[in-house]
Amino acid sequence: MPALSGVLFSLAFPPVDAGYIAWFALIPLLLALRHRSPREAFGLGYLAGFVAFVLILSWMRLFGVVPWLLLAGYLAVYVGVFAALLRWLTGDRSARWTVLLAPLVWTGLEYLRSIGPLGFPWALLGVSQHADIPVLQLARLTGVYGISALLVAVNALLAASIMRPRTLMPWVVILGLVLVFIARSSIVRLPAAETGTVRVATLQPNVPPPLKFDPAAARNNLDVLRSLVDQAAAAPTDLVVMPETALPADIFGSSGLLPVVAGWARAARATLMATSLENGTSNIAVAVAPSGTAVARYDKVRLVAFAESGITPGFRHSPMWTPLGSIGVSICFESIFPEVSRDLVRAGAEMLLVTTNDAWSDGTAGPAQHARFAVIRAVEMGRWLVQASNSGVSQIIDPAGRVAASLPIGQPGALRGRVSLRHEVTPYVRWGDWVAQLMLAGIVLAAALLRREDLLAEFRSVAFRSAAAVSVLPLAAVAALLSIGAPWWTWTVALFALVAAFAAGRIRPLTSDRPIRWGLPAAAVAGSAVVAVLWGVVVIAYRANQVPLEVVVPTQVAVMLRQLLIAAALELWLRGQVFTSIARWKGVPVAIGVTTLMGMAVQAGLSAEAVAWAMVTGLAFGIIRARTGSALGLVVPHALGNLLIGFLTVVR
């Protein structure tokens, strides 16, 4: 049954895109959770999530099977935690509590997986309703998370009615009618259709990915863009928008294409939004006025982990001033994050643009899934949104989420339409993710009320206090030193000192309940093999997308010694003392999970690549620690992994 929920969940998104299935997709999972322990519930939820995300993210196989499965496995954790936390909170209570708590837990976790360096809000449940215009208007008030909460509430109501039909059916009917009334009434106002005053054209050149940055194809690519600009300017046009990194060379510099683009803008008598991969290191959009003057520039801020590890990010999400007004630009990956568009609108953006290049995933559901986010962003922000894509989907969307015009995937051309510059501030723009944050607060409150005795018993236990001491105190010390910019050796020395102090108090860093002979060399060999395999996956994924890698191997003894000391401090603490104390308190699986999360927390402020690496290696090292009983054997693999990630550069 959980796998059935995963299949149904995936059908609500492209390529099937049957959004109505989301209203009942979670019912099999919710029914399967009855009378299950939290640990069993986690397994069932993880299965449902893994099936769902393996199917939804099937386009990720273009990067290789291992990255695809790793990402699906990571996202499935949130569904597993949803199931486990829901069962822990509800316990043996009636199905009414499931109806009440399921939307809180699901929505709170959706919000958590959307933020931070590893935030990836792909396939949020609410996005499935992109075509249901009345329901979609709820996003103006609550953002996409409010729609997710509504869907989960209906799923929980239907599941509860199946479990307890006689008791709950009247409440199901009443609450269902209330939810439908809220979603389809004037409480969330549907903006009227309007005729725009700004004439806009988006260019869809449909350049194949292998030719996009090929010097031999540069002249032809430029000619394609010029012909599309001419096509757009055949009728009076105010704004012409290129897709992401459309120009085959730099815009600025002595040999840049700004004079060429300026000539196009003057000939079209339009503002031209030009894009390039400037100097191979900056993903930019530049507004060129009808006079031929470059008047504004935006550098992509939110980068794709690993895929853009060689790109220099911009500093902030700021709208671009143009002769037409203030325009907010999101580049590709940025459009899936609501806070990016919200920052732009709060800073004065009167319309939104998304420039993207999804051609590398043509033939899959990736471009269609990405295009759905633009609809949600338009409604949340109350703005017209224009999306220009290299190979599709290019589209023009009104503030109600209605697609006014679009170009299908693979069809070159210039998409024309009219948009309006708007100044309205929606409740979501004003208040942000208040619904999701309220859900998180509700989870904490529910835990305090429903599991108060259990929590107090845990807090009073010696095992908990021991685990908390070896976990919280060193983490707080490291965080404090990092926050003031202290050099690496200060927090490393602090960790060694705390490890020694706890060891003196009999929390030994290398002890294990199930030690094996030759544990240290076994851990060293297994850990090094994990690092080698993961690095091979990175190399294969990059080569599959024709991105060469250059690894600068350090030769200085000081650099290698530094990494060994850092690795020794972290491993003796995390896989040593923290792992031992938490395993004695809650078991090995919890110890693996907690030490992995703490290792990721230590990487706070570093790149998304570093945090992702810490997550995957942390899980693997935790398993190795459990099997071998050795933390010390993981020091060299940890240092080796740090060197590989730290000296990774991308050459385009």
Instruction: List, by residue number, the catalytic residues.
Output: 244, 300, 332
Asked if 69 contacts 102 with a C-beta cutoff of 8 angstroms, the reply is no
**Dihedral, CA of residue 359, residue 360, residue 366 and residue 367, to nearest 10:** -10
Residue 537 backbone phi and psi in degrees, to 5: -65, -45
Burial class (CB in 10 A: 0-12, 13-18, 19+), 174: exposed
Asked if 215 contacts 232 with a C-beta cutoff of 8 angstroms, the reply is no
| CB atoms near residue 100 (< 10 Å) | 17
DSSP, residue by residue, 100-159? HHHHHHHHHHHHHTTSSTT---TT-GGGGGTT-HHHHTTHHHH-HHHHHHHHHHHHHHHH
Q: Which of 437, 441, 431, 436 is nearest to 141 (CA)?
A: 431
Residue 202 backbone phi and psi in degrees, to 5: -105, 140
Asked if 273 contacts 241 with a C-beta cutoff of 8 angstroms, the reply is yes
- The H or E element containing residue 237 is none
> And the tokens for 104?
């809180």
Q: Which of 614, 620, 600 is nearest to 116 (CA)?
A: 600
DSSP state of 58: G
Only one residue has tokens 């590890």, namely 309
Asked if 378 contacts 397 with a C-beta cutoff of 8 angstroms, the reply is yes
Handedness of CA 623, 628, 634, 640 (dihedral sign): negative
Q: Is the peptide bond before 557 cis (omega within 30 degrees of 0)?
A: no
Q: Which of 381, 297, 307 is nearest to 347 (CA)?
A: 381
DSSP, residue by residue, 80-112? HHHHHHHHHHHTT--HHHHHHHHHHHHHHHHHH
